[in-house]
Amino acid sequence: MDGKLVAGEVKKQVAQQVQQLEKHGTKPLLATVQVGDDPASASYLKAKHKAADEVGIRSESHHLPADTSQDKLEALLGQLNTNPKVNGILVQLPLPPGFNEEKVIERIIPYKDVDGLHPINAGKLASGYEALVPCTPKGVIKLLNYYKIQVALWVDPLPIFSSTETRPLPSATPRHLTFQG
């Protein structure tokens, strides 16, 4: 399997979708937020900005010092949420110690949450509704579909993870999933 080949195909499709949006007056804008100076996070975000540029998506970076307060970070997210030019928001995780990541994620309007981590997006996904899918599993599914690889697996009740507890998803029952191209 050639992941770079599949990624190139996906980028072509996204670039075409961006062109269609622009024909209708929408110029997509991704806002990224990094708190602190973690080199791996900076590298990851640099790659996201480059990938956005390659498909015609504008991007802007918001870099806050590690000692930024939770309130200041949430205020920035409030501004990005209400900015009609911003179509997507990505907060780079993990945040430095002392931040409540769950509260930060919940502060992003679900339709601007490009990682699909907001509880509403995660709930829709877990319930089988069309929703924003986190990029890594979506990439794996794209790769499998591209090569027409069928995968069947048995899924036990999905656990919900939080910083304080893990519990089974209340409405989840074991089910059989098949991914096919």
Just list the catalytic residues: 48, 92, 115
Q: Per the structure block, which two tokens stand in for 131? A: 């929703």
Tokens representing residue 180 in the block: 């096919």
**Separation CA 71–CA 77 (nearest Å):** 10
- Amino acid occupying residue 173: T
Backbone angles phi, psi at 58, to 5 degrees: -75, 155
> Taking a C-beta distance cutoff of 8 angstroms, is the pair 34, 49 a contact?
no
Contacts of 119 (CB under 8 A, 6+ apart): 105, 106
